[in-house]
């Protein structure tokens, strides 16, 4: 589970991207957080029986949308080793959040 998200008015949140699973959403959220952009994610298909699989929409505040898109676009050239490190960090964050 992700950490408790701040309260947002629904009209200020915009979908940044859709990803295939919760770990991928956590990875994107962690990368955005490193850049000072708050993000939340929510299941976009499937139900609880799908566990961590199933698509997730990643949301950011409207004023961060352009910067977040630029950040993700720049990250498309990330090496496999860097992706592995980010994935490990996101998994650790998920584990830490589940312990709370």
In a domain, 89, yes or no: no
Q: What is the pLDDT of residue 80?
A: 66
In a domain, 83, yes or no: no
pTM: 0.64
pLDDT over 50 (residue 33):
yes
C-alpha dist (Å) from residue 32 to 47, 51, 61, 99: 26, 24, 12, 22
In a domain, 29, yes or no: yes
Domain count, the chain: 1
Whichever domain contains 70, its CATH number is 3.30.70.790
Binned at pLDDT 50, 70 and 90, residue 64 comes out as very high
DSSP-derived secondary structure letter, 94: H
**CB neighbours of 8 closer than 8 A, spacing ≥ 6?**
40, 59, 61
**pLDDT by residue (tens digit) across 45-62?**
766 666 677 889 999 999
Nearest to 13, CA basis, from 58, 67, 45: 58
Q: What percent of the chain has pLDDT over 70?
A: 70
Query: For residue 20, what are the domain limits?
Result: 10-77
For the chain, the distance separating the N- and C-terminal CA atoms, rounded to the nearest angstrom, is 10
In a domain, 19, yes or no: yes
**Rounded mean pLDDT of 4-15?**
68
CA angle 50, 4, 96 (to 5 degrees): 75
Q: What percent of the chain has pLDDT over 90?
A: 38
In a domain, 45, yes or no: yes
**pLDDT by residue (tens digit) across 67-82?**
999 998 887 766 667 7
CA distance 96 to 45: 25
In a domain, 32, yes or no: yes
In a domain, 69, yes or no: yes
In a domain, 55, yes or no: yes
């Amino acid at each position: 589970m992700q950490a408790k998200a701040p309260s947002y008015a629904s009209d200020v949140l915009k979908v940044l991207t859709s990803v295939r699973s919760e770990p991928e959403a956590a990875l994107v959220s962690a990368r955005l957080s490193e850049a000072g952009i708050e993000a939340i994610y929510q299941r976009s298909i499937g139900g609880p029986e799908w566990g961590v699989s199933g698509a997730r929409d990643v949301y950011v505040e409207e004023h961060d949308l352009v910067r977040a898109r630029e950040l993700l676009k720049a990250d498309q050239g990330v090496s496999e080793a860097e992706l592995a490190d980010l994935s490990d960090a996101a998994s650790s964050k998920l584990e830490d959040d589940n312990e709370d």
